[in-house]
């Protein structure tokens, strides 16, 4: 769900966001990812405490929230700004028998209602971009206990000279997009050491995200047939999917795994 919002909350009540949520709700995920990648990133940490306290920021419908609760056997606090996603997470947690372990919280990621040193692990798949990676890493670090861990995914350029059409699309949609080395430097500058990173496979874009999104666009076109704003937004979603189909090697989603070097 690409938005040019810096903090999401600015768009609450905006019709643009109502339509965007209508197009997007009910999908397995709200961004690229899959359980295999979540588990692969988790396995990169050594020294996590048994049953760590976990915070999942920008959880969306919570595929990774449930994967974390299951893999770690621990409680996960899951934050999102939209009720529709928190409700989906609640339903899915209940279906999987994980509702006692998952705690959905409605809050904005730049003002989360938690005391310092509340968590051992912060997770953020496809959400740090809302604040900006450097800003998010710095703002969230006090929430971690000494030596706490963080994992996040971020869209990055994978080539030095992206094709002009992809560069032009993301120049509009995500002008702040950088590359892997820049993100690694942001991680170090924010007081973490890099544990590792990897690029999500192309299947992680399609299986849980673009394929189900694209499948619902015809129904959305019928629903918004007399609504030029809705049709524009549906066309923008289709364009985003088409760009991915055309330029899968130019950009990707990178999983970054890091450990806070901060000690009190
Ligand atoms: N982590 C989920 C996933 O991978 O499926 C969702 C990723 S989606 C790209 C970004 C999520 O961040 C959305 O669920 C959106 O509602 C949430 N979000 C946007 N702005 C936010 C904010 N200011 N505070 C908290 N969550 C926000």
pLDDT at 261 over 80: yes
Q: Which two tokens stand for residue 171?
A: 């120049």
Please provide the DSSP assignment of 91-157 as one string: HHHHHTT-TTTEEEEE--TTS----TT-EEEEEESS-GGGT-HHHHHHHHGGGEEEEEEEEEEEEEE
Cα distance between residue 31 and residue 208, in whole Å: 8
56 Cα nearest atom in ligand 1: 1
pLDDT number for residue 52:
97
ipTM attached to this prediction: 0.99
Instruction: State the DSSP H helix or E strand holding residue 217, giving kind and residue range, or none if neither.
Output: helix 211-223
48 within 8 A of 69, measured Cβ to Cβ: no
pLDDT at 12 over 80: no
Cα distance between residue 39 and residue 43, in whole Å: 6
pLDDT at 255 over 60: yes
Cα distance between residue 102 and residue 163, in whole Å: 42
Instruction: State the DSSP H helix or E strand holding residue 76, giving kind and residue range, or none if neither.
Output: strand 76-80
| Phi–psi pair at 231, nearest 5 degrees | -65, -40
Q: Ligand 1 mean position to 84 CA, how many Å?
A: 11
Q: Ligand 1 mean position to 24 CA, how many Å?
A: 12
Q: Which two tokens stand for residue 74?
A: 């621990």
29 Cα nearest atom in ligand 1: 5
Rg (CA), the chain: 18
Cα distance between residue 72 and residue 196, in whole Å: 19
Cα distance between residue 123 and residue 56, in whole Å: 5
Mean pLDDT of the chain: 94
pLDDT at 263 over 80: no
pLDDT number for residue 7:
41
pLDDT number for residue 1:
57
pLDDT at 3 over 60: no
Q: Which two tokens stand for residue 62?
A: 């919570």
pLDDT number for residue 82:
95
Is the sign of the CA dihedral 23, 29, 33, 34 positive or negative?
Answer: negative
Q: Ligand 1 mean position to 264 CA, how many Å?
A: 30
CA atoms within 13 A of residue 212's CA, in its CB half-sphere: 16
Q: pLDDT tens-digit profile of 178-210?
A: 999 999 999 999 999 999 999 999 999 999 999
SS3 category, 63: helix
Position 11 confidence tier, pLDDT thresholds 50, 70, 90: low
Q: Whose CA is nearest to atom 24 of ligand 1?
A: 108
Q: Whose CA is nearest to atom 18 of ligand 1?
A: 58
pLDDT number for residue 21:
94
Please give the domain boundaries of the chain with CATH numbers for all domains.
32-202+249-260 (3.40.50.150)
pLDDT number for residue 9:
44
């Amino acid at each position: 769900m690409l938005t040019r919002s810096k903090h999401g909350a600015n768009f609450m009540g905006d019709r643009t966001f109502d339509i965007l949520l209508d197009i997007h709700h009910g999908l397995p995920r709200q961004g690229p990812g899959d359980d295999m990648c979540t588990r692969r990133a988790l396995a990169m940490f050594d020294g996590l405490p048994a049953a760590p306290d976990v915070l999942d920021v920008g959880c969306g419908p919570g595929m990774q929230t449930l994967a974390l609760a299951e893999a770690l056997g621990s409680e996960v606090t899951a934050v999102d700004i939209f009720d529709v996603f928190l409700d989906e997470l609640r339903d899915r947690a209940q279906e999987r028998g994980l509702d006692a372990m998952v705690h959905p919280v409605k809050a904005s990621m730049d003002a989360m209602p938690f005391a310092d040193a509340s968590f051992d692990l912060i997770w953020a798949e496809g959400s740090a971009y809302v604040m900006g990676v450097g800003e998010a890493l710095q703002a969230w670090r006090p929430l971690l206990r000494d030596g706490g861990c963080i994992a996040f995914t971020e869209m990055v350029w994978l080539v030095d000279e992206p094709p002009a059409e992809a560069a032009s699309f993301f120049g509009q949609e995500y002008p702040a997009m950088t590359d892997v080395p820049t993100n690694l430097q942001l991680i170090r500058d924010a007081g973490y050491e890099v544990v590792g990173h990897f690029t999500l496979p192309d299947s992680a874009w399609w299986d849980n995200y673009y394929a189900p999104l694209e499948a619902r666009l015809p129904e959305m076109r019928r629903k918004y047939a007399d609504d030029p704003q809705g049709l524009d937004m549906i066309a923008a979603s289709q364009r985003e999917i088409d760009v991915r189909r055309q330029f899968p090697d130019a950009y990707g989603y990178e999983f970054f795994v890091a450990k806070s070097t901060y000690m009190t």
